[in-house]
Amino acid sequence: MCESALVDPIKFDTPVIAYGLRTEQDWFQPSGALSSWGMTRVFDRIAATGFAILDCGEDYRARSGCAMAPRQCLTTYLEPVRQAPPLRGAFRLLGAGDSMLHVYLEVYDAAGRLAGAEEAVYGLTACGDGRAAYFSEVQRQDIAIMLRYHASLPKPKYSGRLVSMETA
């Protein structure tokens, strides 16, 4: 029988934290604020942190030829992010299907203020032809563990009804 990718699920009773998120100079506007494209890149890195824990991230893509691809997202910008030391992000799993994950992401600036939130649905996609791929049994078990722990957290303030797996 396959071992679960999550060795100690107790550690996932809070959102997954992505530390030390770095930005690049060309992600910033002339005003010094992080551009929407730059914020998207930061959210991508936060999502990648959570996907790696669920074994559907970059290592899985390299092994299987399948990758998580955004199907739908809604981003809320709260505070401009200025050029500063590394940012911090949070990944929270809100729901899952056979090939999709409903996630909630937050980015915090260097001072610890919530700068933006994103609610998104990602689908596991075969890289060769773009068709939907399906999570393995081990991945489904890990997803179920993370969902169970994240379900006990309060509803995220900036999540809404505009993003769902049914409409992605």
Confidence check: pLDDT of 145 > 90: yes
Query: Where do the structural domains in the chain lie, given as residue ranges?
Result: 11-151
pTM recorded for the entire structure: 0.84
Q: What is the pLDDT of residues 120-138, one digit of tens each?
A: 999 999 988 889 999 999 9
Question: What per-residue confidence (pLDDT) applies to 110?
Answer: 84
Q: Classify domain 11-151 by CATH architecture.
A: Roll (3.10)
Q: What strands, in cross-sheet order, belong to the sheet with 114-126?
A: 16-21, 87-96, 100-108, 114-126, 66-77
Confidence check: pLDDT of 106 > 50: yes
Q: What is the pLDDT of residues 2-42, one digit of tens each?
A: 333 434 444 455 688 888 888 888 999 998 888 999 999 99
Residue recorded with tokens 């068709």: 131
